[in-house]
Chains A and B, each alone.
Chain A
Amino acid sequence: MSEQEKAAPQDVDSMSAKEMLAYYQAKLDGDAREAKKAGKLVCWSASVAPPEMCVAMDIAMVYPETHAAGIGARKGSQDLLDIVEQKRGYSVDICSYARVNLGYMELLMEYAKTGVKPQKLIDSPAADVPLPDLVITCNNICNTLLKWYETIAKELNIPCIIIDVPFNHDMPVPEYAKDYIAEQIKEAARKLEVICGRPFDWDRFLEAQKQTQRSVAEWNRLATLACNKPSPINGFDFFNYMALIVCARSLPYAEKTFRKYADELEENMRNGKFAMGANEQVRVTWEGIAVWTYLGQTFKTLKGHNALMAGSAYPGIWNLSYRPGDLKSMGEAYTRVYINTCAENRSRELAAVVRNSKSDGLIMHQNRSCKLMSLLNMEGGEHVRESLNVPYVIFDGDQTDPRNFAPAQFETRVQSLMEIVEKK
């Protein structure tokens, strides 16, 4: 049992999954703050970078993408975007997760420098997380994560651990790519020994790997449940629970919460309770990141058409199944993420999500913040249309920059999709 788990209240097991999600999210932030106070190390991490090495060295983890998404969902992103654009000169063309994060970092730096908490930080709905002592990044979901973490490391003058997973222009992943990634994991371990001033704990690393696999198994169980028709879960809930597969997959929190949630959903199914009650008329797959700043709006628009988000390839990114103890297998899991592969494989995986989720339509987010998840939307949509006879629409949006999303356009696009689905 980990230190964090020992500190949890005895009644955590009696919580509902929703309560556990909120509890563990808050606890992760609290753990990071406590670690900082105690002089222990805090690492900011890319969302699909391997946390197993840092967890093995008892380093507290903070995930800026999840943090930024939370700020966006609580309508706090614009203030931070303004800071980083106006004060630091970062272009509005740069990923809004990164800009929100750098805006938050700017306020933390000011606080650290002056000892006076900036008013904008006091007013921000952002979860309270500390500045990092090191960062770890991985480019399996975009090369932006290289530039972003390069920048943090440079601005704060702290170590940066890179796990480079080369873009797979052909599939399957070649052995020499797995070798290269495995060597980087060893290199990261060596770097952490220097940073922490003690030998790398390979036993705890193996435990973290095993824990990650248990978390991933429960995560995948949830994804399978969404394939039921009618479904006991709406994909929007998936987006919320994603916080734990990102932030706690190498800790017991994610596994426990997902198991509880899957148990609840199975119980609901046995009792005839479904996400949309008896109203599930249309099932759609959502391709891309959520529009966090308009999460309610997008949810309600679909609900207004009795449409359920039954699938999304995005949460499947964290299907990081591998063999613990085998670094090449681990490397393969982190590099085979669908958006790190050629269009042929990407389209095939997207079509599998549409097919398995029994979706009637596909909604694709042309995300101003994410070129990698936008520039091949049309090709992916066409593949789904041609191979499965499932129609698609593309809407313009942004994950956390509210200026780049127009609710009226989204509603029109969804309406068009529903009309096409209806005619079929």
Chain B
Amino acid sequence: MNRIDDIVKTLKTIASDPRKAVEDYKKKTGKGAVGVMPPYAPEEIVYAAGFLPVGMWGAEKKPIAKARAYLPPFASSIAQSIMELELEGYYDNLDAVIFSVVSDTLKCMSDKWHGKAPVVVFTHPQNRKIAAAVPFLVEEYRLLTYKLEQILKVRIKEEALQNAIEVYNANRKVMREFSDLAALHLDLITPAARHAVIKARWYMDKAEHTKLVEALNDELRKAPASAFKGKRVVTTGLQVEPDDVLDIFQEFGFGIVADDVADESRQFRLDVPAGNDALTRLAKWWQDFDGCPFATDPLKPRGQMIIDLAKKHGADAVIVCMMKFCDPEEWDYPILVKEFDAAGLANIMIEIDQEVNSFEQIRTRIQTFADVLS
């Protein structure tokens, strides 16, 4: 049991102070780091360049002050937080920053960067299922690779890219295993612990992260059957933070059995497919990827995917974690609710605001939801 706690603690330390984690990595390895804006980017290209890809998912409870001059109040909470960090120089230890532009806010944010690191932008195709989407994205990735090579002064070779994909796929596999094992041990893996294990992968060499999570998974496999008596839930949304929110889940007896969260399982629920050309492999991942509001699909399979996930793990309910002013997520919500209701799947929506310090409204909603479910 102590080994589980030790590993979770190690990962939590990394997840709770990304800047220190990056600084420590740079000191230890002598390598640099490249920022990756949410939600999706081919991190493997950065890894193949010999740099650490670092997630840029804002900050918990960061008061927004300077960003007010650059963004209107109706820009999403995470965008406000990132802008505040940019203006404070938080990202100035990065060698470059990669922007995808899957939302209108991201398109604008990519053009109003206030950090020191150079920005590289690429565009995902949105008519994703047709054959022509792949060669387009391959060319975007080729351009991205070329620009990174210029900025980072390295050559990114095919062999390194293929190797990076294998490292990442290994991490994806071990993360899926972790998520399933956590669902069997909700007494040991609290919502906050689960999030820390997942979040840490944004600030670590993926190979190192894989080793730690493999060890954690081994311990979980050995652990006795769970005595968890609470409610089993699936979370969905862009992000479930700050930790106070996850602690409220725990307080009212909720355990997370699976998630459809952008900075969590959406990153690793699908492997990069096999193939001879690394950039084509990475492009095909985007074509195969489903169930995300940032990846256009008129069939909108997200609701059914979550329902299937809930069934697989015997979940009692879904908690929709709505990032404030994130309209792609807001667009999906009414249809999700309709589908959850039709499937008899209990659900509730809470608003995620990275800036807030008071969680009483969420507490009340979750407490009421717990009462309804019991």
A residues at B contact (CB < 8 Å) = 88-91, 93-95, 139, 142-144, 146-151, 153-155, 159-160, 162-164, 166-170, 174, 176-177, 179-180, 183-184, 187, 342-344, 346, 366, 368, 370-372, 374-376, 378-379, 396
Contacts and interface: CB of A to CB of B under 8 A. Distances in A.
Interface hub of A88, A146, A343 (most chain B Cβ within 10 A):
A146
Nearest to B132: A183
A154 B300 contact: yes
Interface string B201-221: 000000000000000000000
B90 interface: no
B285 interface: no
A342 B70 contact: no
B70 A378 contact: yes
Contact of B112 (A153, A160, A187, A343): A343
B304 to A, nearest CB: 11
A153 B296 CA distance: 12
B108 A142 contact: no
A288 to B, nearest CB: 13
Interface string B89-133: 000000000000111110111111000000001111111001111
19 contacts: A91-B330, A94-B327, A139-B126, A143-B126, A144-B104, A149-B298, A150-B296, A150-B298, A153-B298, A154-B335, A162-B296, A166-B125, A167-B107, A176-B135, A179-B135, A183-B132, A343-B111, A346-B111, A374-B72
B300 A150 contact: yes
Given A176-B136, A343-B112, A375 B71 contact: yes
Q: Interface residues of B toward A: which range?
A: 35 or more
A374 B74 CA distance: 10
A177 B130 CA distance: 14
B25 interface: no
B53 interface: no
A184 B102 contact: no
A143 B102 contact: yes
B297 A150 contact: yes
B105 A371 contact: yes
* Residue from the set A148, A167, A174 with the largest chain B CB neighbour count within 10 Å: A167
Contacts of B133: 164, 180
B83 to A, nearest CB: 10
Nearest to A146: B296
B134 to A, nearest CB: 10
A149 B139 CA distance: 27
A155 to B, nearest CB: 7
B328 A147 contact: yes
B325 A93 contact: yes
A163 B328 CA distance: 18
B298 to A, nearest CB: 4
Given A184-B127, A184-B130, A160 B135 contact: no
A374 B70 CA distance: 11
Given A143-B104, A162-B298, A164-B125, A91 B333 contact: yes
B293 interface: yes
Nearest to B298: A160
A179 B327 CA distance: 30
B72 A366 contact: yes
Given A169-B123, A376-B112, A379-B112, A371 B299 contact: no
Given A143-B102, A167-B101, A169-B110, A179 B132 contact: yes
Contacts of B335: 151, 154-155
B330 A94 contact: yes
